Amino acid sequence: MTNLILLVKAYNSRQLSEIDNLLQNQFEDLDVKLKLDVTVNKWVTVWVSGEDENVVINYIRKEIGTCPVKFDVINEGDVFRGYVSKIEENRLNVDIGVFEPEVKHAILPLTALEAQLTIPSGEPSNKIFENYGIAEGLPIIVRITSKDSDLFKCELAPAQIDKFRVWQQSLLDRLIILRTSKEHVTSVLERTHLNRDVIDVEELGMFEYALTCKLGTDARGLIPKVGRYMRNTLFVVFNAKKSLGFLNK
């Protein structure tokens, strides 16, 4: 039996069941047994056993991804997908799934964020986070810049910077929805007829999505309309024009 920590967070039993069903259906023709649970900080853990165990493990690592788990395996230059775990005035804490020998989150200093996104020094940090749609629970890709025995620091990975730049250059708002499934997002858009105002649903994680709004559609104005049907979800707005405003100063 092999235990894997998936690169996915589940916030309730329904989401855990969705992941379980997805994996069970994917491997229904294989000789394998799966058992899922939620571990530290909402990360999903799966126990895999059976004759086809190695096939399933390789698939999961390639298609879903797994957490590094151990602090010792983290090296400078490594790139990880994680989640913003805490926002402070001068930094972001990023959970990339390190639990052993204890839970440790990567630190992304505000100064690094400003330099990478070409934001003038002195801008209020809350405005930076707000305009870029950065909130606790947001999936984010980071690169490790330094590590010592107590902590490790990071910066945005090139892929994350590219994503922000593409979003900016489109000049379109994004409504980021956290802690729900794509099926739920799609059904709510159809129910509220807001699918006419949304041109794309981009997957950021298994339960995190960015809705690209049509030109002229205010993402923040969609929140009260969809929020009544999406309890226990979090909404964040990426404002393309406001984020570009930092560059024009």
Structure tokens that stand for 212 in this block: 């690209």
For the segment 163-181, the average pLDDT, to the nearest whole number, is 95
Q: Please check whether residues 99 and 142 belong to one and the same domain.
A: yes
Do 115 and 184 have their domain in common? no
Segments in the chain forming alpha helices (H): 13-26, 53-63, 110-116, 125-131, 158-170, 182-192, 219-227, 240-247
User: What is the tens place of the pLDDT at every residue in 110-168?
Assistant: 999 999 999 988 889 999 999 999 999 999 999 999 998 888 999 999 999 999 999 99
Same domain membership, residue 82 and residue 59: no
**pLDDT tops 90 at residue 231:** no
Looking at the structure, do residues 91 and 146 belong to the same domain, yes or no? yes
Domain ends where: 116, 147, 164?
Answer: 164
Number of domains in the chain: 3
Q: d(Cα 51, Cα 4) in Å, to the nearest integer?
A: 17
Q: Which two tokens stand for residue 227?
A: 């929020």
Q: What are the tens digits of pLDDT across the range 206-216? A: 999 999 999 99
Secondary structure letter of residue 119 according to DSSP: P
Instruction: Find all residues with CB under 8 Å of 21, minimum gap 6, and list them.
Output: none
Both 222 and 243 in a single domain? Answer: yes
pLDDT band of 249, cuts 50, 70, 90: low
Looking at the fold, whether 54 and 73 belong to one and the same domain comes out as no
Both 77 and 151 in one domain: the answer is yes
* Residue pLDDT, tens place only, 60-85: 999 999 999 999 999 999 999 999 99
Do 99 and 140 lie in one domain? The reply is yes
Q: What is the mean pLDDT of the chain?
A: 93
Q: What CATH number is attached to the domain comprising 130?
A: 2.40.50.140
- pLDDT tens sequence across 6-28: 999 999 999 999 999 999 999 98
- pLDDT value for 189: 95
Tens digits of residue pLDDT in 24-59: 999 988 899 999 999 989 999 999 999 999 999 999
**Phi and psi angles of residue 64, each rounded to the nearest 5 degrees, phi first:** -110, -40
Last residue within a domain, chosen from 63, 84, 104: 63
CATH of the domain at 175: 3.30.70
Check whether residue 139 and residue 211 sit in a common domain. no
pLDDT at 123: 87
pLDDT at res. 232: 87
Name the domain boundary from 46, 63, 80. 63
**Alpha carbon distance, N-terminus to C-terminus of the chain:** 57
Q: Which domain holds residue 58?
A: 2-63
97 and 175 share one domain: no
Per-residue pLDDT, 149? 81
Which residue did the predictor score with more confidence, 236 or 244? 236
What's the pLDDT band for 248 if we cut at 50, 70, 90?
A: low
pTM value? 0.93
Q: Give CA–CA dist 63/81, Å, rounded.
A: 13
Same domain, 112 and 149: yes
Q: Return all residues near 210 (Cβ < 8 A) that are at least 6 apart.
A: 167, 174, 175, 176, 177, 201, 202, 204, 238
